[in-house]
Structure 1
Amino acid sequence: MNTKNEARHNASVIFKEVVWLEDFINKRLNCYFDSQLEFMAPEPIHLTVGQSKYSDFILENELLNIERFIIVVCLALHFKPKVFDKFLIKNKALDKRFTEFGGKIDESKSIFVPTLETIAFIFYGDCFESRFLMYRLFDEDHLFSSENVIELYGDNSNSFLSNSVRLSDEHFQYFTIGTSFNPSYSSNFPASKITTSLKWEDLVLDKSTLDEVSLINTWIDRQGEILERKDLEKKINKGYKCLFYGSPGTGKTLTAILIGKQNNKSVYRIDLSQIVSKYIGETEKNLAKIFDIAENKNWILFFDEAESLFSKRTGVQDSKDKYANQQTAYLLQRIENYKGLIILATNLKPNIDVAFSRRIQSVVNFSVPGVLEREKLWKFALSGISNLPDSFIKKISSSYEISGGLIKNIIQYAWLISKQHNVPISEKEILSGIRRELSKDGKSFNNQIA
């Protein structure tokens, strides 16, 4: 089914659900203002599998009517907020709104925003003990929290029921247009989805590195079996953590992307510049945003330059050390609980805290490629843009110990110079590019193949 059809089917079902909500509100208020009337809860529409993404979600998770009702309230706030206008009525005797209705006024939009107290009033009326169920619906183990379906917001300093509710972005998108959620980079989600058009054959790694990467792919392939089998539950980790370390340009990021590509999983690179904060507690909050959104999506989380976040703990000399160590403890806990794949990448392996190392299943060394690997990299990089002789490629491969990332920079430089002078790429441009890259690292260039 295409996106347009998905949206049409979802809209049809959600419209009927909002009608159910409106009927519920009318009957509850009629009974509230006329005690002679007996309240009869309206029945929701009958849902069937395949009817819409929304109906599939309700049925697959076997949601109770109150759970379904809360989701409908969130949807109504987006598409038909006027269904709550009746709660704007004032108690004439007191010249203020009815306290028992709960809710709050959004002055910027001039609308009534229901709270959990409003929802409890509509669904349960004055049945006091039934309202206790509202607390249980937002336990961390409940679907609403564990699957990041419903988010609570607002000032709950007076009571838990003072919170308002909203659908998470991912479920709002899924229930409406029927597509999977891929969040964009923002202050609430400081991470970017990374992709590549390259394939495994374009990546040159030594055998020991490829063997470690193969183990990661095997874990992903068997992840479902690990989660389903009770006998494996206490023996094999539900999540998988890797440390990629090595010099810049040796293929750490590309390998992470290709693992995702092979296994049809999104890879998100975490922007640590937006995560790490000098203010106490802010780093933990920023990390929580990432993990809360990523939880149960089975995304691959890629922490580049991870030493800035996963560095060794220090002895406690002052309050700053104390809070830094608390930050590390929080990281350990969130990483331990993540059920997907986490990849930490660093150029400085010795700086990673030993507590993280104990929780890492694969430590993968991305060394500077050897002569044979460099020859493959050079041939791949020059393919289609130059006809330099194999003898020259063999010489530069054996003479200059450089990574694949640097080779890419050299080829780009040589290509631009050749275009600037309207000549083919020659050995001169390649050697000039090598000199240029080595000088960046303060290394001297010896023209050993002149």
Structure 2
Amino acid sequence: MNTNPEFKYLKEFIQYRLDQYFQPDKDNQEPTIPEMSEWTLYIPDFIKEAGLDKEEKLVLLLCLSPHVQSNFLDSIIQNKLATTGDFPQLGGVRGKNFRGFLPTGETTMFLLSGINFQENKKTYDIFHSNHFFAKHQILWLEKPLEGEPKLSGKIIMSQEYVELLTQGKTNKPSFSMKFPAQVIETKMDWDDLILSDETSKQIQELHAWITHGNTLMNDWGMHKKLKPGYRVLFHGPPGTGKTLTASLLGKQTGKDVYKIDLSMVVSKFIGETEKNLSNLLAKAEKTENILFFDEADALFGKRTNVRDAHDKYANQEVSYLLQRIENYNGLVILASNLKSNIDEAFVRRFQAIIHFPLPKFSERLLLWKNAFPSKVKLHSDIDLVQLVQKYELSGAEIMNIVQYSCLCALADNKKTVYQSYIVNGIQREYQKGGRIMR
């Protein structure tokens, strides 16, 4: 670890501060922190672009050091304090299971301020809720015991950032109350998705952003002019391919697609929805995965006229969601059956609005032809062209009918699908949607 330039610097700096305190007459020269480009840690682009100063970089290394080498801080401190005894100004605590030195806010204050305690404000700024570290949930101070100073709390780095900085990747977050989202996957390919030409063209534009967005923002310098991330609205009737399209985008670009469980995000308690969404986004944006909000009306619906306190907070909630989504680094897809259900403030900020209409005749015919398994044959009494012309169905409805028809054939111990199977299947789908079959 001492061969890593960033931790070699951290060791030298801690020694420098201790020497400065205990040997003020000694000619101590402050070490120079290496550029982030020389660090052996994996530093995400958004941290590099944040323009962290020397003190902020030092805190990042200090907090990470126990996770990299358990005795790193002890080996430095104990050598210096062997003859001086206890030194409470240095702060630090021992963990419940981890017995090494864990830095606290007091440790940070000593290292940043040295013998000039008038500079303590910098420490408080770094641990402020508005700081870059807190906003991205990279690191923060543990809440101290009642009545104890704020800086006595130990510095905590989120496990996701420990993994990201040391391994270059994070383990997939598991579904929980703090992360109410699950990865959606598909075994289908783009050839299985039948969309209109206009919709397909717009989907390719999304693919281009996922593939080249970092180049546009960073290499071409557009991060100064454009907001981070990309926001898109999928709207159209149920079963027209919105969820499948999101899954295929992830599959093609190597991104995980997290479908948000809105029932766990939306809360009747004031402030809880914002808190839930903030936790979710903070975890998701570490890897810039794709977020998919199905039936997004529940979160991003139109604001109401203020009639009571509940309406007031509901509108504040929508405003917060707008701001938070707008700062997300990755791709956010909102899906709704009706575009008109989404608040106009969100609509104005979408980079793309993509309509998923019911398939036209040619598209429905292709869906029917591709839907049946190769091991069954269609009876000669089936006229697919007539069925396509007569019944306007979505892709999902067609697949449901095909599944029903195949199960009927298997139940009759046949490998042939008959017209009656398909007609009965269509009737079932019409009944589900409250439509009358003619």
Contact conserved, 1:50 with 1:56, CA < 8 A, in 2? no
Please give the residue correspondences for 1:8-407 in structure 2 after superposition, counting only pairs within 5 Å. 38=26, 52-54=40-42, 66-78=55-67, 80-81=69-70, 99-104=88-93, 106-107=95-96, 113-122=102-111, 124-137=113-126, 144=133, 148=136, 150-155=138-143, 161-220=151-210, 223=213, 224-225=215-216, 229=220, 234=225, 238-295=228-285, 297-388=287-378, 392-407=383-398
CA contact (8 A) 2:6 2:40 kept: no
Check if 1:413 corresponds to 2:408. Answer: no
Kindly indicate whether the alpha-carbon contact (under 8 Å) linking 1:24 and 1:41 is maintained by their aligned counterparts in 2.
no
Identify which range, 354-363 or 260-269, moves more after superposition: 260-269
1-side partners of 2:210 and 2:67: how far apart?
Answer: 38
Q: Conserved in 2, the CA contact under 8 Å of 1:249 and 1:406?
A: yes
C-alpha distance in structure 2 between counterparts of 1:76 and 1:312, whole Å = 47
How far apart are the structure 1 equivalents of 2:162 and 2:222?
A: 36
After TM superposition, give the deviation of residue 404 of structure 1 in Å.
1.1
The 8 Å contact of residues 240 and 361 in structure 1, kept in 2 or not, is answered as yes
Q: Residue 134 of structure 2 contacts residue 140 of structure 2 at CA under 8 Å; is this kept in 1?
A: no
Letter in 2 for 1:327: E
Alignment of 1:424 onto 2:412: no
Per-residue deviation, 1:436 = 2.7
Deviations 1:378-425 (A, max 9, x none): 111114232216853223222222211122222233333433443214
Look up the equivalent residue of 2:317 and give its one-letter code: Q
Structure 1's 259 and 276: CA in aligned 2 closer, same or farther, altered over 3 A?
same
Given residue 247 of structure 1, which amino acid in structure 2 is its aligned partner? P
1:43 offset after TM fit, Å?
6.1
User: Which residue of structure 2 aligns with residue 7 of structure 1?
Assistant: none
User: What amino acid maps onto 1:102 in structure 2?
Assistant: G
Measured after TM superposition, the shift of residue 173 of structure 1 is 1.7
Compared with structure 1, are the counterparts of its residues 211 and 64 closer, same or farther at alpha carbon in structure 2 (3 Å cutoff)? Answer: closer
Unaligned runs of 5+ in 1: 1-10, 89-96
- Bigger mean CA offset, 308-317 vs 388-397: 388-397
Whole-Å separation in 2 of the counterparts to 1:198 and 1:54: 34
In structure 2, how many angstroms separate the alpha carbons of the residues matched to 1:26 and 1:55?
Answer: 25
Per the alignment, do residues 158 and 295 of structure 1 end up closer, same or farther by CA in structure 2, a change over 3 Å counting? farther
Equivalent-residue separation in structure 2 for 1:408 and 1:233 (angstroms): 46
Give the AA of the match of 1:192.
Q
Cα drift, residue 115 of structure 1: 1.0
Q: What is the distance in 1 between the residues matched to 2:9 and 2:227?
A: 44
- Checking the alignment, whether the CA contact within 8 Å between 1:246 and 1:346 is kept in structure 2 is yes
Q: Distance in 2 between matches of 1:76 and 1:231?
A: 34
**For 1:196-247, what per-residue CA distance to the aligned partner results, in whole angstroms no more than 9, with x for missing partners?**
232222111122322333443444455333555568955x655432221222
1:290 is paired with a residue whose SS is: helix
SS of equivalent to 2:238: coil
Question: Contact (CA 8 Å) 1:270, 1:304: kept in 2 or not?
Answer: yes
Deviates more, 1:201-210 or 1:436-445: 436-445
- CA distance 1:182–1:323, shift in 2 (3 Å): same
Alignment check: 8 A CA contact 1:251 1:404 kept: yes
In 2, distance between residues paired with 1:317 and 1:368? 38
Q: 1:332 to 1:396 in 2, by over 3 A?
A: same
Tell me how far apart the structure 2 counterparts of residues 60 and 348 of structure 1 sit (CA, whole Å). 40
Which whole-Å CA distance do the structure 1 matches of 2:42 and 2:197 have between them?
Answer: 47
In structure 1, C-alpha distance between the alignment counterparts of 2:217 and 2:93, rounded to whole Å? 46
Amino acid at match of 2:390: S
1:436 to 425, 428, 432: 428
TM-score by length of 1: 0.77
- Among all aligned residue pairs of Structure 1 and Structure 2, give the percentage whose two residues are the same amino acid: 39
User: Is the 2:255–2:290 Cα contact (8 Å) retained in structure 1?
Assistant: yes
Aligned-CA RMSD value: 4.2
Mapped partners of 1:230, 1:76: distance in 2: 33
**TM-score between both structures, scaled by the size of structure 2:** 0.79
Shift of 1:105: 5.2
Aligned-partner SS, 1:406:
helix
Q: Which shows bigger deviation, 149-158 or 204-213?
A: 149-158
Paired with 1:27 and 1:361, the residues of 2 have a C-alpha distance of 51
How many angstroms does 1:272 deviate by? 1.0
Equivalent residues, number: 426
1:339 CA displacement? 4.1
Separation (CA, whole Å) in 1 of partners of 2:210 and 2:261: 24
Q: Deviations over 1:90-140 (max 9, x none)?
A: xxxxxxx86523344545766654212113325654331444433454578
Over 3 Å counting, the alpha-carbon distance change for 1:135 and 1:228 in structure 2 is farther
AA paired with 2:110?
F
Structure 1 residues 212 and 389: alpha-carbon distance in aligned structure 2, compared to 1, 3 A threshold: farther
Indicate if the aligned counterparts of 1:30 and 1:37 stay in contact, CA closer than 8 A.
Answer: no
CA distance in 2, matches of 1:262, 1:207: 19
1:297, 1:78 → 2: CA distance?
A: 20
Deviation larger for 404-413 or 152-161: 152-161
The separation in 2 between residues aligned to 1:271 and 1:160, in whole angstroms, is 36
Q: Once the 2 structures are TM-superposed, how far is the Cα of residue 27 of structure 1 from its aligned partner?
A: 7.8
